[in-house]
Amino acid sequence: MAFGPAAMGYDRAITIFSPDGSLYQVDYAFEAVKKGWTAIGIKSKSSVVIASEKRKAQSLLDVDSIEKVFLIDDHVGCSFAGLASDGRVLIDYARNIALQHRLIYDEPVSIDYLTKSVADVKQMYTQHGGVRPFGVALVIAGIDKSVPKLFMTEPSGQYMPYQAVAIGQGYYTATEFLEKNYKEDLNVEETILLALKALSATLKPNEKLTPNTVEIGYASTQTGLFLKMTNEDKNMYLQKL
Amino acid sequence: TAVGLKVNDGIVLASERRLSYGGYVLSKQAKKVYKINKFLMAGAGIYGDLQTLTRIMNVEIKYYEVSTGKPISVHAAAKLLSVILYQYKVMPFISEILFGGVDEKGPQLYVLDPIGSLIEDNYAAVGSGARIAIGVLESEYDPNMSLDVATQLITKAIKASIERDITSGDGIDLAIIDKKGNYENKFIPY
């Protein structure tokens, strides 16, 4: 250790701070998120939308069967960027929280509370010994008593509400696009289109979104339900781009 | 004996104050109508069980509100009470409970049995004098009656049970929440 680079010694156990105040393993978990497939969340007055990209990472991969947008409860959905296995576990946890809330209180869980519960688990994995942090960021979107809500949770356990947010490979380009083009006063269709445009902005010039390479989940204040879009509907929206 | 009534203008819960152990009156000061958070709870049964349930409910409601950052609804609080009662199914709280309150959905009243059945109703009576009290409510109840008339009716019902049920007596506690959420309580010596 004494002969290693300056950082050595501070990234072996995650519970150890480096002298400048960072937890290296948590920082590395953020790097895993940056390598993930892009996911975008947008909240407007009418609705909240999640759009997520799927890439054919290997030629024999059955992209159609991969899920990137997940239903947590009737009124909440979620997507993630980073280690898929970590994401899956957290989504199972979130579904459990949502169901338990219905069981005990007979009402849908609030998006705030759900997000905080998931973020609390992530936080625990930055402080306890013998574990590693979750290498995922989650975008959680839903409707709370007719009000659209959008959150993003980070590997550190931090979570914040957003009007629009992007995570994964294309986060920088998509965020730049959204900062320029975001409007609050959009209807459901416009919100979905904005999400797709932001996702398209992250693609290489020769690439194009197809119904097979994008997943869309949306919830409108009108229905209060989080729904996943069918391929036919995706096609319709993609043609409008 | 405890009685609850829901009208369009709010809810009223009432109970007499006698706590008896067989033929012996252990206390003439036993309050069986409680205000929990912004809700009303009244019950009949083992007095210690009732007190414990009110303590649990106070804490659980506070916990809900600090962890979710929003006030709990009447239905969610009643369902919570039902879940707690069911959790103790094998060694139940010996109690019949009335639970009511007012929120954005308006006045609501629930009746719970010892193991947590949850039924919403317009009026209900529980405890030793219930069968006497319910007859009075049944014959005069009208959801459009004013809160004042509802208070008079519920008083009449408790008085009837005090007259004909030996384990009821020693005055009447009343608690009222109007449709705006204002709370009021009264004691009527009888």
Q: Which residues of A touch B76 (CB under 8 A)?
A: 105-107
* Domain membership flag for residue A195: yes
Indicate if the pLDDT at residue A1 is higher than 70. Answer: no
If pLDDT is split at 50, 70 and 90, which confidence band does A56 have? confident
User: Which has more confidence, A150 or B22?
Assistant: A150
Give the mean pLDDT of A35-55.
96
* Domain membership flag for residue A169: yes
How many angstroms away from the CA of A107 is the closest CA of chain B?
7
Interface test with A, best of B56, B67, B68, B74 (most A CBs within 10 A): B68
Q: Which residues of B touch A107 (CB under 8 A)?
A: 73, 75-76, 79
Closest CA to B75 of B105, B43, B55: B105
CA angle, corner A51, sides to A46 and A53, nearest 5?
A: 170
CATH number at residue A198: 3.60.20.10
For residue B83, give the chain A residue with the closest CA.
A104
Inter-chain contact B83–A112, Cβ cutoff 8 Å?
no
Q: By the 8 A CB rule, do A81 and A175 touch?
A: no
Rounded distance, CA A74 to CA A78, Å?
12
The count of structural domains within chain A is 1
* Domain membership flag for residue A101: yes
pLDDT given for residue A232 in this prediction: 95
DSSP string, A176-231: HHHHHH--S---HHHHHHHHHHHHHHTS-TT----TTTEEEEEEETTT--EEEPPH
* Domain membership flag for residue A16: no
- What is the distance of C-alpha B170 from the center of its chain? 18
Give the mean pLDDT of B161-169.
95
pLDDT given for residue A57 in this prediction: 83
Indicate if the pLDDT at residue A182 is higher than 70. Answer: yes
Q: By the 8 A CB rule, do B128 and B158 touch?
A: no
Q: Which residues of A touch B67 (CB under 8 A)?
A: 113
* Domain membership flag for residue A8: no
Q: Which residues of A touch B75 (CB under 8 A)?
A: 106-107
Which tokens sit at B189?
A: 């010596």
For residue A109, give the chain B residue with the closest CA.
B68
Identify the three-state secondary structure at position A66: coil
Give the mean pLDDT of B163-175.
96
CB atoms within 10 A of CB A150: 23
- Whether B155 sits among the annotated catalytic residues: the reply is no
| A104 → closest Cβ in B67, B70, B80 | B80
If pLDDT is split at 50, 70 and 90, which confidence band does B82 have? very high
Q: By the 8 A CB rule, do B28 and B48 touch?
A: no
β pairing state of B2-7 and A164-167: unpaired
Query: Which residue range is the domain that position A219 belongs to?
Result: 24-56+65-239
Model ipTM value: 0.79
* Domain membership flag for residue A11: no
If pLDDT is split at 50, 70 and 90, which confidence band does A4 have? low
How many angstroms away from the CA of B132 is the closest CA of chain A?
33
Chain B: residues touching A (Cβ < 8 Å): 64, 67-70, 72-73, 75-76, 79-80, 83
Backbone torsions φ then ψ of A71, nearest 5 degrees: -90, 130
Identify the three-state secondary structure at position A84: helix
Q: Which residues of B touch A103 (CB under 8 A)?
A: 83
Backbone torsions φ then ψ of A120, nearest 5 degrees: -65, -40
Q: By the 8 A CB rule, do B155 and B137 touch?
A: no
For residue B71, give the chain A residue with the closest CA.
A110
pLDDT given for residue B35 in this prediction: 97
Chain A: residues touching B (Cβ < 8 Å): 103-107, 110, 112-113
pLDDT given for residue A7 in this prediction: 58
Indicate if the pLDDT at residue A238 is higher than 60. Answer: yes
pLDDT given for residue A82 in this prediction: 96
Closest CA to B50 of B31, B67, B75: B31
If pLDDT is split at 50, 70 and 90, which confidence band does A142 have? very high
| A113 → closest Cβ in B68, B75, B80 | B68
Rounded distance, CA B159 to CA B141, Å?
16
Q: By the 8 A CB rule, do B124 and B110 touch?
A: no
Indicate if the pLDDT at residue A9 is higher than 70. Answer: no
* Domain membership flag for residue A133: yes
Backbone torsions φ then ψ of A155, nearest 5 degrees: -60, -25
Backbone torsions φ then ψ of B87, nearest 5 degrees: -60, -25
Q: Each residue of A180-190: b (16+ CB within 10 Å) or e?
A: eebeeebebeb
Interface test with A, best of B70, B84, B86 (most A CBs within 10 A): B70
Inter-chain contact A105–B67, Cβ cutoff 8 Å?
no
What tens digit of pLDDT does each residue of B147-162 get?
A: 999 999 999 999 999 9
What is the average pLDDT value for chain B, to the nearest integer?
96
Which residues, other chains included, contact A166 with Cβ-Cβ below 8 Å and sequence gap of 6+? A38, A39, A40, A41, A174, A175, A178, A198, A202
Q: Which residues of A touch B80 (CB under 8 A)?
A: 104-105
For residue B87, give the chain A residue with the closest CA.
A104
How many angstroms away from the CA of A106 is the closest CA of chain B?
6
Which tokens sit at A197?
A: 């445009």
* Domain membership flag for residue A17: no
What is the average pLDDT value for chain A, to the nearest integer?
93
Least confident of A9-13, A156-160, A161-165, B98-102: A9-13
Rounded distance, CA A128 to CA A143, Å?
33
What tens digit of pLDDT does each residue of A87-135 get?
A: 999 999 999 999 999 999 999 999 999 999 999 999 999 998 888 999 9
Number of A to B CB contacts under 8 A, please give it.
Answer: 24
End-to-end CA distance of chain B: 14
